[in-house]
Chains A and B, each alone.
Chain A
Amino acid sequence: MYAVETIDLSRVFELKGRRILALDGINIRIGKGEILGLLGANGAGKTTLVKILSTLLLPTSGSAYIHGHDVVRDAKYVRGIINLVSGGETPGYGMLTVRENLWLFSQLYGLSSGIARERIEMLIRDMGLEQYRDVRMHRLSTGYRQRLNLARGFINDPKVLFLDEPTLGLDVINAKHMRRYIRDWVDADGEERTILLTTHYLAEAEEVCDKIAIIYRGRIVAYETPLALKASLSDGVSIQVELLSNRTTKGSIVEEISSRDGVLACMLVPSQNVVEQGDHGGNARYDGSIDGLTRLRIMLDDDSKIPDLVSMLVMNGYRVLSVRRDQPTLEDVYMRYVGSMGNEES
């Protein structure tokens, strides 16, 4: 039995008469004791998936199971063995202390007072909240409120914990500490504890996750161990090129470059003023241009191909402003698994 299993899970939203396919046939299986990192850009469908798995949202079709229990039909049972922490959210009551807030949430799970007290003290210690134990929540800084929210997520000692961008708004040290903590938490009882963590950052997923799933426009496009994912990138070189051109059809450069020998992938890099197009549920439009300036991210199989590529661009009437080698990023992973992203505005 898997800790989490989804079968052809889909979710459609209706928004002002438009249908948004937020999840499109998701099939994932998370084994007990695993941390799965769900990596994806804004609007990819991460939160939607987490909400369905945590019984807050109904799927449009398909099914999902937590420890073998259907999240729709057995919702109440599932709620008892899961918990959810969304980064940036700080639920609770300002006029209650840290301890009282945790106690309130513990009672929603029916914890006996002995166990509740013990666990609250432990979590307060683990989250470094000792000096705020009896301080009202409204006196806490945002970061400490988030620690409190994280503590709340462990209050029922869940079998499956969902962390939706848990490090959002945390400073580097705290984010690091949190990743360490959740890794240790799972490892302390690998038979019973499982985490699904969503993030925008490849590095974050790499650091703590046993497996990484990349979600793109509601589909899982890659599902591998961090090592395998990295290996799939290590055979290439990523470069970023800035061009000036007066040509208007951006798509055609991407196509031209993509079709060249030795080019693994190519995409337009969204500029600062990304156009919110909204015709795909708020997905940013990958239009890398400001006044003729075009930024491209290109993956080549070998760095000896760089000079050829540059001369091709110059011959085609582009002014090459800069060429820079880059560390592999999330974009590169996308490029490999999603393909070119310059002109697919379906």
Chain B
Amino acid sequence: MVMGDLMLNLKAVYARAYVRLKGLLREPHWSIAEVTIPLLSLSAYVYMYTMLGAPSEYMAFVVVGGAMLAFWSNVLWGMSAQLYWEKETGTLTYYLLAPASRMAILLGMAAGGALNTTLRSLSILMVGTLLFPVEYNIVEPVALLIVFLLTVTALYGMGMLFASLFLLYGREATHIADLLQEPIYLFSGIYYPVLSNQILPYAVRLVASIIPLTFGIDAIRLLLIMGKGMGDIMLHIVGLSLLIIVLIPLAYIALRRMEDTSKRHGRLTLRWQ
């Protein structure tokens, strides 16, 4: 029974991830736009830093930030808004109707989104590296891989949580996504270092670290550009792990709450509708 459940849920995760990848890859012109547009905005920062005569590693900072930003957009629009859209089109009901776990559906969405965005993010990184005078200094590739995986897991954990919350809180969802889109540039240091720099006040940096992207970008920069090793990013690893431990169960709870609300009240949303 338990094995049967596991198989069923793995199939559901796989199917949900597969169609997500397939669907997105089927629209290649979108993928091109999604690589080109971030490159345009990050090139503005590259030129700005060049004019200001900033240290050369700032070019690499910007390219890495731009590449990682792709994940944040996908978490907001590809995850959170996606589930909401699935409710609107009536597809969500048929997920709830099936015996597969709801978490499996959400995990599948996350896995598909993460894989797809990794491809896109790597493209941004590669093109950015070719276009601008960027230099990398990698000492511990394994540490880099670990930090990257932890960052993506934490980000999609947050995406899964948002997805359920968006459903509960109704059609204001897109406004919330909009609101979350902008501050990320400031707090998470997409185009400049935040954590390892003392520019922003301590309180702001503390709040910023709730967003997995902040830890992730900072650690990846240290490992990819500054030639640092595992020993220098222990704080980041602990932070990201804590985020994962908190976010994924929260996502699970929110999803349960969403289903419970729908069964109890005959509607999915708590308010605004």
* Complex: A175 Cα to B254 Cα, angstroms: 41
Given contacts A13-B266, A58-B263, A110-B8, contact A79 B99 (CB under 8 A): yes
A95: chain B residues at CB < 8 Å are 23, 26-27
How many chain A residues sit at the interface, stated as a range, is 20 to 34
Is there an interface contact between A56 and B91, defined as CB atoms closer than 8 Å? no
CB interface residues, B 46-105, toward A, < 8 Å: 89-91, 93-100, 105
- Give the number of residues in B that approach A within 8 Å (Cβ atoms): 30
A89: chain B residues at CB < 8 Å are 90, 93
* Complex: A79 Cα to B5 Cα, angstroms: 13
With both beta carbons as reference points, the residue of chain A lying nearest to B262 in the complex is identified as A56
Is there an interface contact between B15 and A152, defined as CB atoms closer than 8 Å? no
How near does chain B come to A151, taking the closest CB pair, in angstroms?
13
Is there an interface contact between B94 and A110, defined as CB atoms closer than 8 Å? no
A56: chain B residues at CB < 8 Å are 93, 96-97, 262-263
A13: chain B residues at CB < 8 Å are 265-266
* Complex: A58 Cα to B96 Cα, angstroms: 13
How near does chain A come to B175, taking the closest CB pair, in angstroms?
24
With both beta carbons as reference points, the residue of chain B lying nearest to A162 in the complex is identified as B97
* Complex: A48 Cα to B90 Cα, angstroms: 16
* Complex: A90 Cα to B86 Cα, angstroms: 11
CB interface residues, A 60-87, toward B, < 8 Å: 76-77, 79-80, 82-84, 86
Given contacts A104-B19, A105-B98, contact A57 B91 (CB under 8 A): no
- Decide yes or no whether A127 CB sits under 8 A from chain B: no
* Complex: A162 Cα to B14 Cα, angstroms: 27
Is there an interface contact between B27 and A91, defined as CB atoms closer than 8 Å? no
How near does chain A come to B32, taking the closest CB pair, in angstroms?
17
Is there an interface contact between B266 and A107, defined as CB atoms closer than 8 Å? no
B97: chain A residues at CB < 8 Å are 54-56, 79, 82-84
- Listed in ascending order, the chain B residues whose CB lies under 8 Å from chain A are 4, 7-8, 11-12, 14-16, 19, 22-23, 26-27, 89-91, 93-100, 105, 262-266
- Listed in ascending order, the chain A residues whose CB lies under 8 Å from chain B are 13-14, 48, 51, 54-58, 76-77, 79-80, 82-84, 86, 89-93, 95-96, 100, 103-105, 107-111, 152
Q: Shortest 8 CB-CB distances between A and B: which pairs?
A: A107-B15, A110-B8, A108-B98, A91-B91, A79-B99, A80-B99, A95-B23, A108-B100
A–B complex contacts, Cβ < 8 Å, 17 sampled: A56-B93, A57-B262, A58-B264, A76-B99, A79-B97, A86-B90, A89-B90, A91-B91, A91-B93, A96-B19, A105-B94, A107-B15, A108-B15, A108-B94, A109-B99, A110-B7, A110-B99
